[in-house]
Structure 1
Amino acid sequence: MTKQIKQIAIYGKGGIGKSTTTSNISAALAEAGYKVMQFGCDPKADSTNTLRGGEYIPTVLDLLHANARVNAYEAIFEGFGGIYCVEAGGPQPGVGCAGRGIISAVQLLKQQDVFEALDLDVVIYDVLGDVVCGGFAVPVREGIAEHVFTVSSSDFMAIYAANNLFKGIQTYSNKGGALLGGVIANSINTDFHRDIIDDFVARTHTQVVEYVPRSLSVTQAELQGKTTIEAAPKSEQADVYRRLAKRIVEHTESKTPTPLDQQELRDWSASWADRLIAVERQSQLLAS
């Protein structure tokens, strides 16, 4: 009987900490004994850098451009803890579709039965979530991933990107597409950050999987080309990532979120702006 491989997609807008979070989840799972592949789906091809000491690896599209036939194993490189690292890649700036690398890479690995041959437990797709276009939506649309998670902070643009992802999941939910596991709340260092993200997930009928604080240990680790799990294994931040990884790998029930429409999102963000201004004015009065 073929082993069931857990396939997970993690989305998030550029700069939100999506790849940092994904790599630390992969590292924590490998540390716990799982056989993991991290599948970078960003045209920048930098998802797996911190699993390989800061080194870039050739992308699937690079190999396909150079060769008529490609052995999928030429695109697979081993990283920290035996994690298999793959980068889909993308076109030259201004040319072609950025989602094409995901489509080509997934097809190549599936055609050659790589997931089964490597006896993987978990495949994690690290996907750019600024725009959920046809290419970037492949893990959701095709049901390649069973469960989708999004990394978001309390900043409006991060929540805007998460809400757009929810719309994509809702669109494909009745067509065999992947469903939402929840939100990974990143850079949560104040009660207000937490309150904003909690309110957003309540309104969209989803959940927060873990609150990840902003930490200097993450910056220090990345400057070394490493994950926090590798560079600072005894840190509090490493334990946060371990807890997150455990929750994700044990997650079984995902669902269709209820995204806000454009006006609802604007009204919601404006109400929070008013609350923050009121709190700031109150603080100024108390200080004076």
Structure 2
Amino acid sequence: MTLDVPNLKEFDQRLRDEAHEDLADLVAEEPTKKTQIIAIYGKGGIGKSFTLANLSHMMAEQGKRVLLIGCDPKSDTTSLLFGGKACPTIIETSTAKKLAGEEVKIGDVCFKRGGVFAMELGGPEVGRGCGGRGIIHGFELLEKLGFHDWDFDFVLLDFLGDVVCGGFGLPIARDMAQKVIVVGSNDLQSLYVANNVCSAVEYFRKLGGNVGVAGLVINKDDGTGEAAAFAEATGIPVLASIPADEDLRRKSANYQIVGTKAGPWGDMFTELADNVADAPPLRPTPLSQDGLLGLFSASETGADFVLEPATDEDMRGANAQPKESLEVIYDEA
């Protein structure tokens, strides 16, 4: 096959032009597909797994068919749902089956509780492989298992937000999800991650993508207001504010489901489930680093710090030696 070089250059230039088009006039619409595929992102440890386990359980109580897929190499998304018990991951099961000359079956990797179907993609141990590649391999296996033929109202994907490699950006980059939800708190690091996710959505929208941000879930909300200010500044709604409450912390630590109408937190998770289902995918407005810092008091972030350039003498330290000047100095007349 011979490439037509002029046409190739023309195609390349068209892609570059499209990447710089202003798509601000795009109208956000509610997803029209029967199955809503929603990717949830957030800083590690911010409470995505807690939020998703209880959200999926409440959705199932509402009569929805829900599939929860953990896409975090820690494989902790389903642990709360299954009472702390770890389920075999798709990656490790696929490896073991391949060595045994067997095929992976759905019952090997997918388990259920309370009407929620759940599985973990898994990933390599530290230093033994790329987590992003593991995500890609996991989704390839899901396709072989018939992912596109499954009948669910909601598929919830739990992704790390503070890992920037391609595998973790898969739902945004390849339009695998209709919308994204970010989980954050009233701290700079979690909102920095949330802002990065918004930046990724904006980047791929400029490339012609269709994924939008449905909103922000504020976890461990202490009422200081930075997360809500972030949502307003980026143009996305707050879907729920989960308080920093000792009862929630204790029950989460003991792998107890609180996203149920039978408990005291049922109304909060019912509202979250309704908001997640109905929220349209929006195009966010990511903040600059200074804009993000501006949400916090300068005394907390050091936003008023002035950068002082280093000198060559600073870098050399004890090795610094005076150099003879090459400047020509004329005697006074």
TM-score scaled by length of structure 2: 0.74
**C-alpha spacing 1:177/1:92, structure 2 compared with 1 (3 Å):** farther
Match of 1:241 among 269, 278, 291: 269
The reply to whether residue 164 of structure 1 matches residue 185 of structure 2 is: no
Q: Secondary structure at the match of 1:50?
A: coil
Match of 2:283 among 246, 252, 256: 256
Q: Identity percentage over the alignment?
A: 33
Are the counterparts in 2 of residues 41 and 101 from structure 1 also a CA contact under 8 Å?
no
1:34-73 mapped onto 2 (5 Å cutoff): 34-68=64-98, 70-73=103-106
Partner of 2:5: none
Structure 2: which amino acid aligns with 1:127? F
1:123-202 mapped onto 2 (5 Å cutoff): 123-174=155-206, 175-190=208-223, 192=224, 195-202=225-232
Partner of 1:89: 122
Partner of 1:25: 55
Partner of 2:146: 113
Are the counterparts in 2 of residues 196 and 272 from structure 1 also a CA contact under 8 Å?
no
Greater CA drift, 45-54 or 174-183:
174-183
Partner of 1:269: 296
Structure 2: which amino acid aligns with 1:87? E
The offset of 1:26, in angstroms, is 0.2
Partner of 1:78: 111
The offset of 1:131, in angstroms, is 2.2
**C-alpha spacing 1:85/1:260, structure 2 compared with 1 (3 Å):** same
Q: Secondary structure at the match of 1:26?
A: helix
- State the alpha-carbon separation in 2 of the partners of residues 229 and 198 from structure 1: 23
Greater CA drift, 36-45 or 240-249:
240-249
- State the alpha-carbon separation in 1 of the partners of residues 247 and 295 from structure 2: 33
- List per-residue Cα deviations over 1:136-163 (Å, max 9, x = no partner): 1011111111110000001010111101
- State the alpha-carbon separation in 1 of the partners of residues 165 and 106 from structure 2: 28
Q: Secondary structure at the match of 2:235?
A: coil
Structure 2: which amino acid aligns with 1:55? K
Larger helix percent: 1
- State the alpha-carbon separation in 1 of the partners of residues 184 and 172 from structure 2: 18
- State the alpha-carbon separation in 2 of the partners of residues 241 and 216 from structure 1: 17
Greater CA drift, 156-165 or 173-182:
173-182
Q: Secondary structure at the match of 1:67?
A: helix
Q: Secondary structure at the match of 1:222?
A: helix
Structure 1: which amino acid aligns with 2:37? Q
Partner of 1:279: none
- State the alpha-carbon separation in 2 of the partners of residues 75 and 181 from structure 1: 33
Q: Secondary structure at the match of 1:183?
A: strand
Q: Secondary structure at the match of 1:22?
A: helix
Partner of 1:221: 251
Q: Secondary structure at the match of 1:44?
A: coil
CA RMSD of aligned residues (A): 2.1
- State the alpha-carbon separation in 2 of the partners of residues 256 and 250 from structure 1: 16
Structure 1: which amino acid aligns with 2:124? P
Structure 2: which amino acid aligns with 1:32? Q
**C-alpha spacing 1:125/1:272, structure 2 compared with 1 (3 Å):** farther
- State the alpha-carbon separation in 2 of the partners of residues 258 and 189 from structure 1: 25
The offset of 1:54, in angstroms, is 1.1
The offset of 1:98, in angstroms, is 1.1
- State the alpha-carbon separation in 1 of the partners of residues 71 and 283 from structure 2: 23
The offset of 1:198, in angstroms, is 2.3
- List per-residue Cα deviations over 1:6-39 (Å, max 9, x = no partner): 1111111011111100111100001111111100
Gaps of 5+ in 2: 1-32, 302-333
Match of 2:241 among 211, 223, 228: 211
Q: Secondary structure at the match of 1:92?
A: coil
Q: Secondary structure at the match of 1:21?
A: helix
TM-score scaled by length of structure 1: 0.85
Q: Secondary structure at the match of 2:296?
A: helix
